[in-house]
């Protein structure tokens, strides 16, 4: 869903493409932290968000200037984007000093 009638909220997962800003030549997914109350042009807004990797992990915190009419909400809730991870034990050899 896209359109300017809806405002992003904390926890929303957005798919940002060139429709949101020319900076997104390569589209990205982000999880919104908050909408910033900074002065902007009409129809634009600043958001604080975590950029998400393909596995749903947050890889970078970013402040983004986006056109509200170009935002695309992900149908997948933020918690479902993250895939479960498995931990692999580290194999260690004998400790050597000196």
Which of 60, 45, 50 minimizes the C-alpha distance to 14?
A: 50
Kindly state whether residue 83 falls inside one of the protein's structural domains.
no
**pLDDT for 1-16, tens place per residue?**
444 468 999 999 999 9
Report the distance separating Cα 34 and Cα 73, nearest Å. Answer: 15
What is the C-alpha separation between 21 and 9, in angstroms, rounded? 19
pLDDT digits (tens, 9 = 90+) for 67-96: 999 999 987 654 554 455 566 666 666 767
Report if residue 96 sits inside a domain. Answer: no
Tally of domains in the chain: 1
Residue 22's pLDDT band (cuts 50, 70, 90): very high
Domain presence at residue 62? yes
């Amino acid at each position: 869903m896209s359109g300017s009638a809806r405002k992003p909220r904390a926890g929303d997962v957005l798919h940002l493409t060139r429709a949101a800003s020319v900076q997104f030549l390569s589209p990205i997914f982000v999880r919104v932290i908050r909408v910033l109350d900074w002065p902007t042009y009409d129809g634009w807004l600043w958001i604080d968000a975590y950029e998400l990797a393909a596995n749903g992990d947050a890889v970078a915190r970013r402040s983004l200037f986006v056109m509200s009419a170009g935002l695309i909400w992900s149908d997948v809730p933020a918690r479902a984007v993250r895939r479960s991870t498995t931990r692999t034990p580290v194999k260690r050899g004998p400790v050597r000093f000196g």
